[in-house]
Amino acid sequence: MKQKVATSVNGRRHEHEVEPRLLLVHYLRDNLGLTGTHIGCDTSQCGACTILVDGKAVKSCTMFALQAEGKDLTTIEGMARDGQLHPIQQAFWDEHGLQCGYCTPGFIMAAAYLLSQNPNPTEDEIRKGLEGNLCRCTGYVNIIKAVQTAAKTMSGTQAKKTTVAAGGS
Amino acid sequence: MAVTQLVGAKIHRREDPRLITGHGHYIDDFARQGTAYAAFVRSPHAHARIKRIDVTDASKAPGVVGVYTARDFKGQLAGTHPAAPAFVADKKYIPERFPIAEKEVCYQGEIVAVVLADTKGQASDAANMIQVDYAELPAVMDLEKALEDGSPKAHEGGPDNVCWDLTYTGPEVTEAAFQEADTVVKQRILQNRLAPVPMEPRGVMAEYEGFDKKLTIWMSSQNPHFIRLFVSGAMGLKESQVRVISPDVGGGFGSKISPYPEDYLVPSLSRIADRPVKWIETRTESIQNATHGRGQFYDVEVAAKKDGTLLGMRVTQFLDVGAYCGTFSAFQACACLMAGGAYKWKGISARTIGILTNRVPTDPYRGAGRPEATHLVERMVDLVAGELKMDPVDIRKKNFIQPGDFPYTQNFGLVVDSGDYEKSLDVALKLAGYDELRKKQAEGRKQGKYIGIGLSTWIELCGFGPSAATAPATGGIALVESAQVRVVPTGSVLVYTGTHAHGQGHETTFSQIVADQLGIPIENIEIRHGDTAEGTSFGYGTYGSRSLAVGGVAVSKAVGKVIDKGKKLAAHMLEAAEEDVVYENGSFHVKGSPDKAKAFGEVAFASYGMSLPEGMEQGLEAVAYFDPPNLVWPFGAHIAMVEVDAETGDAQLQKYVAVDDCGNIINPMIVDGQIHGGVAQAIAQALYEEVVYDNETGQLKTGTLLDYNIPGMGEIPIMELDHTVTPSPTNDLGVKGIGEAGTIAASAAVINAVCDALSPLGIKHVDMPASPDRLWKQMKEARQ
């Protein structure tokens, strides 16, 4: 009953025989070992499993692995390039946009899609753009700041420095 | 002074690089060769007798390793679920609890069978094939009816539904106050039942190695050492044979403190099946089975003089214990002891009643007892102010415990260490522009808008805690904290702490403390926690805003011991008297001769060599335990502005100001983050969340995140924060906890604002959650 699925994940080709009922999120985590994509609910509410499918934010629990045939996927592991954090990752770090970190990969991926569609979102547009993701730690305040900071960095303007990277950086 | 001053600075979190790149390690990221997966069969009924369990089909299903029911665990697990004395030493009735039900199920979700299979899918498929015949029993759902004579019982064989009934102080202590009163205000105040909902559900993986009789448990826990204690005892293993590893924890909020049935069953299954076993909770399992918080109501009466002087309070707490007494369920009774809040009272009468029902057990959830206390006292103070036509600011200022009163012994004998309540309120009023807000409100009212402003001048007690208070509360083990500091030969430092973070950033803040104290770069310090095989023999976990105020101080003490030993060795190396050697900026030198010095690294290396002083052992490491002399007492003032839609009853937060005082601050960025998240969870309680069961059948109606409404990005406003700093006099760092403060403070501010908004309609009190549905009905009634 297993069927073949071929995808590109973070620029690498993968081919596997999988059960038709296998969800994409389980494929990424269990078959490819990409455990940065998390599972936080059973009903597609929380967005912890958000990835990019052909550049669009998708909750990977809402797709079967087989539906990813021929698609180009990006997960959180594919965001940093050549040891350089993606500006959105950097902004989450700078603005304390995470605490326990469990929802964070999903938020970063959803923010990546939002900023690809709207490089300079207002606070309201950020709230609407990320309403499909839930966080229980931050009260969202610093996530909004992080997305604003990332937008500034990515559009080339100088992001405001709010933290001193004295340690751990 | 150290070379760098990191304490007090906004340092980037050291745990973040792995978490923002997908390299964190949460429980579901772990795997062992040959793992079998567990799927649990749970009761669909709130209360029923189990007549028969048929596992025939399931046993034959593909990939199934075995199907197990209660009798399979009889020789494997002993004892009952631990229920600590906490704030109620003598309980009336604690129902026996085995991790898997045999004859009777007492809440929806209680485990009746478990399947082990080669894959998750196979386990779950086979679990669906198990047939259980139940005979339904009446479900006990209503707290007041549960106390009536002849009420059905939550447990068939139980004497009644009273888990505890304790009067801390009788009505006699408030008799004088109520006689003297010009006005008495009464109110019943509900505390909606809440699900903690950490974004990462629970999970357990266990590997029992039969030959060596060694058990390793990986699990998402706030409290790995206590799990080791409980599980080893139940499984008949020595505590030393069990290792519990709690890796990155994706939030806890209290729901990952106490042991759960799965924490016993999964290790036990590994022993039975002789292979590693893994189970990861689904979200529905989590909302259904992870302990809930709150679930109470209070009957409160307050006596006051007409000038606004508060005199006396009478409070009775009715607490829904759920089907079994949670490990720290009775901690929530501290709401009674904290009911006086920031104010002076002549007397407070308090009684707590813990009531058994057929719901999942309640246990501490962020704040645990203190949010309830704040909510009730802040609501009552506003009700008195309303009665006397006083401004809520004035009545608070009139009754505050004053700065000169500290240390202040409150009505229940607890000693409040320090505070300046008026100061934090003044800062908050200024930050909020209180007078302007009142003007806006007056203008809005003219246009028919329902705008309200609410205050919460909250206090709490945290940092559990002093051995004299906590050892009796746990049944023997004092909730002190331990730390071990190990300086390896080349001078880098490993710090082991018995606390365990689940988002609080201890790897950062504890490093800041150590880096300053040792005067070495933060990069040379590594903080380790969450693994019982490392560090000190016992750690006490993270809850009750204790990690910094107890654990951080233990770390600092252990570092102090390392420096003391280093001084002895350095004196020997420098051929100086020990008392002439000082430690500054990462080096030991002779007082007045900074050139005669040995760097920290040199001394560390020398400590592993030869020619040590007479009687000195090799190595540079130390263990310290900190037994705090008192709890710590943070406080602050929050102000919310709310507009309630006249047509729909939808309450929208227009402004939120929080001024908090947690003593000295190690990392202001992290403190603000804790406030943001805490406030958000209290806004959630005030406006959005409630675990709802059907009142007749006991069926959970809010079992997914579709129905259980945790707020999203659209619901939580940007908050304006500030701080006052009143160091705690009871620890060397001068710190107090901040992890729960936001949750303790904010529900009262929001609901006081909602009540203020609706006061033109004559509405005095609103219960939580103040959902559009509830407010619309209440407004409609008021208009008739």
Q: What is the DSSP track for A64-126?
A: BGGGGTT-EEE-GGGTSBTTBPPHHHHHHHHTT--SS-SSHHHHHHHHHHHHHH-SS--HHHH
- Considering only CB atoms, B508 lies closest to which of A40, A134, A168, namely A168
Give the tokens for residue B167: 């009067």
> B224-235 and B261-273 are packed helices; what angle lies between their axes, rounded to 10 degrees?
50
Structure tokens at B208: 């029992």
For B340, the token pair is 């006086």
Residues B674 and B653: their CA atoms lie apart, in Å, by 20
- Residue B297 scores a pLDDT above 60: yes
In three-state form (DSSP H/G/I as H, E/B as E, the rest C), the secondary structure along B124-153 is: HHHHCCCEEEEEECCCCCCHHHHCCCCCCC
Residue B3 is predicted with a pLDDT of: 44
Contact B508 A43 (CB under 8 A): no
The H or E element containing residue B741 is helix B741-758
Tell me if residue B287 falls in helix, strand or coil. Answer: helix
Nearest to B157 by CA among B99, B96, B113: B96
Residue B675 pLDDT exceeds 50: yes
The DSSP line for B539-586 is: ---S-TT-IIIIIIHHHHHHHHHHHHHHHHHHHHHHT--GGGEEEETT
B342 and B457 in contact (C-beta within 8 Å)? yes
**CB contact at 8 A, B621 and B485:** yes
Question: Cα distance from A104 to chain B (closest Cα, Å)?
Answer: 6
Residue B51: CA count within 13 A, CB half-sphere: 7
The mean pLDDT of B173-190, rounded to a whole number, is: 98
| pLDDT of B2 over the 80 cut | no
Please name the residue of chain B whose CA is at the shortest distance from the CA of residue A108.
B20
Q: Do A100 and B23 touch (CB under 8 A)?
A: no
Helix (H, G, I), strand (E, B) or coil at B60: helix
What are the chain B neighbours of A40 within 8 Å (beta carbons)? Answer: 199-201, 250, 283
User: Residue type for B580, please?
Assistant: D
Q: What is the per-residue pLDDT for B683?
A: 98
Give the three-state DSSP class for B86. Answer: coil
pLDDT tens readout for residues B749-779: 999 999 999 999 999 999 999 999 999 999 9
The rounded distance, in Å, linking the Cα atoms of B97 and B105 is 10
Q: What is the 3-state secondary structure (H, E, C) of A109-146?
A: HHHHHHHHHCCCCCHHHHHHHCCCCCCCCCCCHHHHHH
CA distance A128 to chain B (A): 7
Rg (alpha carbons) of chain A, rounded to whole number: 16
Q: Please tell me the distance in Å from A21's CA to the nearest CA on chain B.
A: 9
Q: What is the DSSP string of B706-729?
A: TTS----TTTS---EEEE-----T
A84 interfaces chain B, CB cutoff of 8 Å:
no
Q: Give contacts of A96 with chain B, Cβ < 8 Å.
A: 13, 669-670, 672-673
Task: Give the integer Cα–Cα distance in Å for B651 and B686.
Answer: 10
Task: Decide if A35 contacts B29 (C-beta within 8 A).
Answer: yes
Q: How confident is the model at residue B28 (pLDDT cuts 50, 70, 90)?
A: very high
Residue length of chain B: 784
Amino acid at position B92, single letter: K
In chain A, what residues touch B506 (CB-CB under 8 Å)?
none
With pLDDT > 90 as the criterion, what percentage of chain B qualifies? Answer: 99
3-state secondary structure of B25: coil
- Probe site for chain B from A10, A19, A32, A100 (most B CB atoms < 10 A): A100
pLDDT digits (tens, 9 = 90+) for B681-702: 999 999 999 999 999 999 999 9
CA B343 to chain centre: 24
Q: Tell me the average pLDDT across B144-169.
A: 97
Average pLDDT value for residue range B258-285: 98
pLDDT value for B776: 98
Q: Give the separation between CA A112 and CA A1, rounded to whole angstroms.
A: 36
- Please state the rounded mean pLDDT for residues B260-289: 98
Residues of B400-411 as b/e, b for ≥16 C-beta within 10 angstroms? bbeeeebebebb
- Nearest-Cα distance to chain B for A91, in Å, is 10
Is the previous residue joined to B407 through a cis bond, with omega within 30 degrees of 0? yes
- Cα separation, B50 vs B445, in Å, equals 59
What would the mean pLDDT of B212-236 be, rounded to a whole number? Answer: 97
Give buried/exposed letters for B180-193 (b at 16+ CB in 10 A, else e). ebeebbebebbbbb
Question: Which residue, among B534, B680, B430, has the nearest Cα to A140 in the 3D structure?
Answer: B680
Least CB-CB distance to B713: which of A45, A99, A127?
Answer: A127
Distance, CA of B50 to CA of B435 (rounded, Å): 63
CA distance A116 to chain B (A): 19
Q: What are the structure tokens assigned to A91, written together?
A: 């902004």
Chain A residues touching B284 at Cβ < 8 A:
42
Is the pLDDT assigned to residue B23 strictly greater than 80? yes
pLDDT greater than 90 at residue B747: yes
Among B616, B610, B619, which residue's Cα sits nearest to residue B488?
B619
CB B733 within 8 A of CB B623: no
C-alpha B456: how far from chain center: 20
Res A158 pLDDT > 90: no
pLDDT value at residue B4: 56
Write the single-letter amino acid at B720: E
Contacts with B25 from chain A: Cβ below 8 Å: 35
Q: What is the mean pLDDT of chain B?
A: 97
Answer yes or no: is pLDDT of A168 > 70. no
pLDDT, tens digit, 9 for 90 and up, residues B535-588: 999 999 999 999 999 999 999 999 999 999 999 999 999 999 999 999 999 999
Weakest mean pLDDT among B460-474, B515-529, B747-761? B460-474
- Asked whether the beta carbons of B24 and B18 are under 8 A apart, the reply is yes
Closest-CA residue in chain A for B522?
A167
Residue of chain A minimizing CA distance to B20: A89
Can you give B435-471 as a three-state secondary structure string? HHHHHHHHHHHHCCCEEEEEEEEEECCECCCCHHHHH
Is A85 in the B-facing interface, judged by CB distances under 8 Å? yes
Average pLDDT over residues B485-496: 98
The predicted model gives B389-416 an average pLDDT of 98
Q: How many CB atoms lie within 10 A of CB B592?
A: 8
Q: Which of B710, B717, B726 is nearest to B657 (CA)?
A: B717
Mutate to test the interface with B, among A99, A128, A130, A169 (most CBs of B within 10 A): A99
Question: What's the pLDDT band for A115 if we cut at 50, 70, 90?
Answer: very high
For the entire predicted model, the pTM comes to 0.96
Assess A33–B contact: CB distance below 8 Å, yes or no.
no
Q: For A19-78, where are the E strands, in sequence order?
A: 50-53, 56-59, 72-74
Question: What stretches of B549-692 adopt beta strand conformation (E)?
Answer: 581-584, 587-590, 593-599, 620-626, 635-644, 651-661
Residues of A in Cβ contact (< 8 Å) with B29: 29, 35
Instruction: Indicate the SS3 state at residue B272.
Output: helix
- Say which of B14, B512, B705 has its CB closest to residue A46: B705
> What is the pLDDT confidence band of residue B465, given thresholds at 50, 70 and 90?
confident
Q: List A residues 128-157 in contact with B (Cβ-Cβ < 8 A).
A: 128, 130-131, 133-144
pLDDT of residue A159: 45
Cβ neighbours of B676 in A, within 8 Å: 138-142
Cβ partners under 8 Å of residue B693, min gap 6 = B46, B108, B141, B359, B699, B700, B701
Q: Give which of B2, B399, B462 is closest to B177, Cα–Cα.
A: B399
The shortest CB-CB distance from A100 to any of B17, B23, B502 is to B502
The predicted model gives B433-462 an average pLDDT of: 98
The string of pLDDT tens digits covering residues B608-659 is 999 999 999 999 999 999 999 999 999 999 999 999 999 999 999 999 999 9
pLDDT of B660-670, one tens digit each?
A: 999 999 999 99
Distance, in Å, from the CA atom of B541 to the CA atom of B548, rounded to the nearest integer, reads 11
Shortest Cα–Cα distance, B617 to chain A (Å): 33
Please report which confidence band the pLDDT of residue A157 belongs to, taking 50, 70 and 90 as the band edges.
low
